[in-house]
């Protein structure tokens, strides 16, 4: 299992690459939901999402071991993150994307000199292809969440929150495959166990919610939630035991609540976030947290949103 020591090591390893992102506040949202609301601004992170923390920890570790290349299977933030850090370190990266990948995301990967390979439309097709490519090239496959170095990298978000806001009483975190929340859980619960950690999933991507209820990893049908970073069909085999050990609660938000939260943050706070981030704000806005008069940090996990799609979310 990942420990607090791994997270401190990750922080040291990635510190020259990663931004320590600010904590924002909103008195309007605080009044609306009866808690003091703060926001960990990972949409202002390099590449526009927290994923670069875990990717950097894993790729820097591999590079120090002399790896010749890296591969990843992702159309989104993880693919950009791996291409970004590999480019900085001068390690060739191949990112396997789906045939229907968003053109702007593919061009972001290209801008970091990543090679693009297209394969199928599902992660069940992409991941084996990326693993084979890694083997052929003598390289390393960089998983998006189910890896100790990736989890430890994401956990640095938790360390920063504890230092930046000593009064923190609860942290609200989106859940996809569970890398971000299991890193934050390890950091926060091993340093300050009184802080509550609440996970959030879209109603239609409730795989972690169901897995906790069933006390075993449970998978769901393919979902089309607008929170595209949270579409994973089941929690990871490394992340789920950490979630099960430490988490206080998982709450669910609807598609309409996600888009209302995204527009609230855009209009009132002047911050551009993606739907996968907006789930944490939605949980607070629509009174799912079940707490009052607490200092609550919502993690804004990323800001990579296709502007052409935003109009259709209203
Ligand atoms: C990947 C991602 C998530 C989910 O993170 P997991 O580690 O898969 O749980 C949340 N928000 C954004 C913006 C992401 O890119």
From 175, 184, 182, select the one nearest 206 (Cα to Cα): 175
Q: In angstroms, rounded to a whole number, what is the distance separating the alpha carbons of residues 4 and 156?
A: 10
CA of 230 to the centre of ligand 1 (A): 6
What is the pLDDT confidence band of residue 264, given thresholds at 50, 70 and 90?
A: very high
CB 273, CB 300: distance < 8 Å? yes
Q: Structure pTM?
A: 0.97
How sure is the predictor about 308, in pLDDT bands with cuts at 50, 70 and 90?
confident
Is the pLDDT at 142 greater than 90, yes or no?
yes
Cβ(253)–Cβ(225) under 8 Å? no
Backbone torsions φ then ψ of 27, nearest 5 degrees: -70, -30
CA 295 to ligand 1 center in whole angstroms: 23
Strand pairing category for 140-141 and 70-73: parallel
What are the residue ranges of helices labelled H in 192-291?
A: 207-214, 239-246, 255-269, 275-285
The backbone torsions φ and ψ at residue 249, rounded to the nearest 5 degrees and listed phi first, read: -165, 150
- The Cα–Cα gap between 130 and 288 comes to 39
Q: How confident is the model at residue 124 (pLDDT cuts 50, 70, 90)?
A: confident
Domains along the chain? 4-49+148-313 (3.40.50.1100), 51-142 (3.40.50.1100)
Query: What pLDDT, in 10s, does the model give residues 61-81?
Result: 999 999 999 999 987 899 999
Could you tell me if the CB of 229 is within 6 A of ligand 1? yes
Phi, then psi, of 298 in degrees rounded to 5: -90, 130
- Report the pLDDT averaged over residues 293-303: 98
Task: For residue 189, name the pLDDT band (cuts at 50, 70, 90).
Answer: very high
Best mutation site among 44, 45, 49, 299 for ligand 1, i.e. most ligand atoms within 8 A of its Cβ? 49
């Amino acid at each position: 299992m990942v420990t607090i020591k791994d997270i401190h090591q990750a922080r040291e390893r990635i510190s020259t690459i990663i931004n320590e992102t600010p904590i924002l506040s909103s008195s309007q949202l605080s009044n609306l939901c009866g808690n003091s609301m703060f926001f960990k601004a990972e949409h202002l992170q390099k590449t526009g999402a927290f994923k670069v923390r875990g990717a950097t920890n894993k790729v820097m570790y591999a590079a120090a071991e002399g790896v010749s290349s890296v591969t990843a299977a992702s159309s989104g933030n993880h693919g950009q993150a791996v291409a970004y850090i590999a480019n900085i370190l001068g390690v060739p990266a191949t990112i396997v994307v789906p045939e229907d990948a968003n053109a702007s995301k593919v061009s972001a990967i290209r801008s970091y000199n990543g090679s693009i390979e297209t394969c199928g439309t599902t992660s069940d097709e992409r991941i084996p292809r990326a693993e084979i490519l890694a083997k052929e090239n003598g390289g390393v496959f960089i998983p998006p969440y189910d890896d100790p170095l990736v989890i430890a990298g994401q956990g640095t978000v938790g360390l920063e929150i504890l230092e930046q806001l000593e009064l923190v009483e609860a942290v609200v975190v989106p859940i996809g495959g569970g890398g971000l929340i299991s890193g934050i859980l390890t950091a926060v619960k091993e340093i300050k166990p009184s802080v509550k950690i609440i996970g959030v999933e879209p109603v239609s991507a409730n795989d972690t919610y169901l897995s906790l209820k069933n006390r075993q990893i449970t998978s769901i049908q393919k979902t089309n939630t607008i929170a595209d970073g949270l579409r994973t069909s089941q929690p990871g085999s490394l992340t789920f035991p950490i979630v099960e050990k430490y988490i206080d609660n998982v709450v669910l938000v609807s598609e309409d609540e996600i888009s209302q939260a995204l527009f609230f943050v855009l209009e009132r706070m002047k911050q551009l976030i993606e739907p996968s981030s907006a789930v944490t704000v939605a949980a607070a806005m629509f009174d799912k947290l079940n707490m009052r008069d607490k200092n609550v940090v919502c993690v804004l996990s990323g800001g990579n949103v296709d502007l052409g799609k935003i109009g259709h979310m209203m």
